[in-house]
Structure formats: C-alpha cells, structure tokens
Homo-oligomer: A and B are copies of this chain.
C-alpha cells in the first residue's frame, strides 16, 4: 500500500524505433560514419517514415547520430583519445560527489524519496556471469555497470547531478569502442565497496571508493582502447563505413 502503481507508459512506434536504432549503434551493428537513410530504415522496420524521423531527432540531441539538413543522418564517430580522457575526468568530478551524497541520503531515514531502499544497491553492484556468447555477455556487463552507476546517481537525490551524469553517456561510448578485459571480478568488488560505504552512511568512504573504481576502470579501458586504436588507425582514415539498409 502507498506504493502507487505506475504504468509501463505505452510504447509508440517512435519509441521502438528509437530503442532499436540505439541498440544497433551501441553494438556497432551500425558502424560510425554509416549513412542512415530514412525511408531505408522505415522499410527495414516495416513502419513509416514519421516515427523514424522522431527517433532520429532524439538520437541527434543525444549525440549518437549527426544530421546535415537536406542531406541525411550518419552515425557519430567514436570517441578520440583526448575525448576518452576528458570523459573520465568528468566522471571523476561528478560521480564521487554523487556517491558522497547518496551516502548522506542513506542516513536520512523516514523521508520517502520514492526510490526504494538503499539496500538494492548491493544487488545492483553484481555483474552478470558470462555465458557462452561473448558479444552478448559484453553487452550484459556494460548494462549492469550502467545500471549501478545510474542508481548511485539517482540515490544522490540531486536531479541535476544525476541528469548530468546520465547525459555523459559514458557506458554507451565505452561499449561502442572498447572491449572490456575479463576484469569482471575487479569491477564487482569495486562496486560492492561503493555500495557498502553508501549503505553504511559513510560519505567520505563512498566518495573515495567511487574515485578508485573510476580510476581503475579508466586504466582498464585505456589499455583496451590502445589496442583498438593500434588496430584501427594504420589506414589513418577511420575506414569510411558505407551505407546501411
């Protein structure tokens, strides 16, 4: 009781198109630079152009696709090296603060913030066991990681901060370009450390745990990035991907 039932908010075709396109871009099924033909996509998804347009408009604002007014949409290029470093510098600025605040809020009991118990953080800290399909497992890991970081941001109860973190689209960029090493155990341990500090209402410890996690994560991804960059740049030009569908 008191737990108000919230509806799944019916999905429109535009929503489906948006989800589908975003998924394909994240999984690099649509490569960076690929041209996105509007009626091509419409035919492929067996819907009309209007919902496709709406989905592309959203994706453009999010930075996943680029638009040239009377020419068409293309998939946004991957992060460059400096952009990668920028991204983590910003995460290191914002996410430890979010963790600290979440720990502070964990102490304020009684206040119904509408987000449930802080204990769920412990569950979200887990990373899924890898199955046979490496590609699918990588995606599952990325999504679990994203959920955890998003949860910490929400529990900070600072909407502006949470939104800013979300808009970095960190996991999206990381997943597109770089293959995670098999350091799943490390990630899970670090997540648990953050979650524990928050639940124990220790802001300073939470802040520090998040900072350490991000620094380790940066190292892990940077290494993978170097490998990817070495494999992808010999032609200097990022391999002009051609149209899709």
Residues of A within 8 A of B (CB): 9-12, 14-15, 50, 53-54, 57-58, 60-63, 68-70, 79, 82-83, 86-87, 89-90, 93-94, 97, 158-161, 163-164, 167-168
Contacts and interface: CB of A to CB of B under 8 A. Distances in A.
Contacts of A97: 89, 93
Contact of A93 (B50, B94, B167): B94
A35 to B, nearest CB: 18
B9 A63 contact: no
Contacts of A14: 57
Contacts of A161: 86, 89-90
Number of copies of this kind of chain in the complex: 2
Contacts of A69: 9-12, 15
A57 B55 CA distance: 8
Given A61-B61, A61-B62, 7 more contacts: A9-B69, A14-B57, A58-B58, A83-B159, A89-B97, A90-B161, A164-B164
A113 to B, nearest CB: 12
A160 B164 contact: no
B164 A168 contact: yes
A182 to B, nearest CB: 27
A70 B160 contact: no
Contacts of A53: 50, 53-54
A203 to B, nearest CB: 15
Contacts of A94: 90, 93
Contact of A160 (B12, B90, B160): B90
Contact of A167 (B15, B60, B87, B164): B164
Contacts of A60: 58
A87 B50 contact: no
A160 B94 CA distance: 13
18 contacts: A50-B50, A50-B53, A54-B54, A54-B57, A57-B58, A58-B58, A61-B61, A61-B62, A63-B163, A79-B160, A83-B160, A87-B160, A90-B94, A93-B97, A160-B168, A164-B164, A164-B168, A167-B167
A165 to B, nearest CB: 9
A25 to B, nearest CB: 15
